[in-house]
Amino acid sequence: MMMAPFGLAPFSEEDIARLREQADGKGDWDPDANQRGIGDCYLLATLQGYSRTEDGQQKLRDQVRWDEGKGCFVVTLYDNGKPVDVDVDDYYSGGTKDHQGRPTLMSIYERAYGQHFGFQDLADGGRAVDTIPQITHSKSYSVDTWGSEPGWFGLTFPKEDHKYDQSEWNNIKSAVDSGQVVVASTRGGSFGNGDTVNAATDTNGDGKIDTKNPGVNGEAPDQETECRLVGGDYDHDSKTEKSSHAYTVVDIDDEYVTLRNPWGGNDTPNDGRKDGGLIRITREDYEKHFARTDIGQVP
């Protein structure tokens, strides 16, 4: 396929047919965003959050339609609470794609967001708490690991203790269990002792993490290993800014939090990589490394 200028690629006829099926409910798309060269993890983690439930997928579908007269997809976004329609007839060649390298419904949203809000805003990082209402006009809020400590005259002062209190844990778990969009950010996380954690990944490729039971096709249970979380001095270059990254929270229990990395994989020490975006870490490592959790409703 010939690439258009400025890193854009036109949809092929095959792309259009497949994307129309995804938009009208006849086709699915990869749960992993497979983020490429654009710094929009906050957007892709948000789209992954909607994509993890049927209601969320339907909301994304409801806001994309094919306009035969224009020969393009029309996406409804929200700017300061007002709906805006964005015409999309191409996608970012260096943007989100499925595992076969093809554009998906997420690609259409990524391009629409970049067209309306500007590519610089798209690629320069952001916060899911701001993105959620831009995508679906839904309410959103954040919980964070800032606590407080006593000061003079009975006053208290904010303190970053890298801990979520019980009510915040309850909010996160309730949101995940009820199918809301939950996005975790490593910005402000504690990476002074490195970025490596003991984690479980989807080593048997059955789309979930279970280290006790065989996979859906009888494969061995998922395995634990060391993985890196994206934050701090991730590139080991003191001359660059500290890294931060957004992940989608897809499951939580009393011990563990399961995330989906929009990269579509997770790095291991010594330049290794585990395929698939799913990664399960302990609650302790979650609150240590993820200083903010953004939550949004699925209308």
pLDDT tens for the chain, 299 residues: list them: 333 445 999 999 999 999 999 999 999 999 999 999 899 999 999 999 999 999 999 999 999 999 999 999 999 999 999 999 999 999 999 999 999 999 999 999 999 999 999 999 999 889 999 999 999 999 999 999 987 555 555 555 677 899 999 999 999 999 999 999 999 999 999 999 999 999 999 999 999 999 999 999 899 999 999 999 999 999 988 888 889 999 999 999 999 999 999 999 999 998 899 999 999 999 999 999 999 999 999 98
pLDDT at 154: 56
Distance CA 142, CA 181 (A): 12
3-state SS track over the chain: CCCEHHHEEECCHHHHHHHHHHHHCCCCCCCCCCCCCCCCHHHHHHHHHHHCCHHHHHHHHHCEEEECCCCEEEEEEEECCEEEEEEECEEECCCCCCCCCCCCHHHHHHHHHHHHHCHHHHHCCCCHHHHHHHHHCCCEEEEECEEEEECHHHCEEEEECCCCCHHHHHHHHHHHHCCCEEEEECCCCCCCCCCEEEEEECCCCCCCCCCCCCCCCCCCCCCEEEEECCCECCCCCCCCCCECCEEEEEEECCCEEEEECCCCEEEEHHHEEEECCEEEEEHHHHHHHCCEEEEECCC
pLDDT at 148: 55
From the list 240, 237, 242, 138, the residue with the least C-alpha distance to 183 is 138
One-letter amino acid at 263 equals W
pLDDT at 1: 34
- Asked whether the beta carbons of 41 and 35 are under 8 A apart, the reply is yes
Measured CA to CA in angstroms, residue 287 lies from 139, 164, 228, 299 at distances of 24, 6, 15, 28
pLDDT in tens, 150-161: 555 555 567 789
What six digits make up the tokens of 89?
Answer: 């007839």
From the list 164, 140, 123, the residue with the least C-alpha distance to 49 is 140
Residue 279 β-bridge partners: 201, 259
Domain ranges for the chain, please list them. Answer: 5-130, 166-296
What six digits make up the tokens of 283?
Answer: 């609650």
Distance CA 44, CA 144 (A): 21
pLDDT at 156: 53
Distance CA 230, CA 186 (A): 7
pLDDT at 4: 42
pLDDT at 153: 52
Q: What is the phi/psi pair of residue 27, to 5°?
A: -135, 155
- What is 166-296's CATH number? 3.90.70
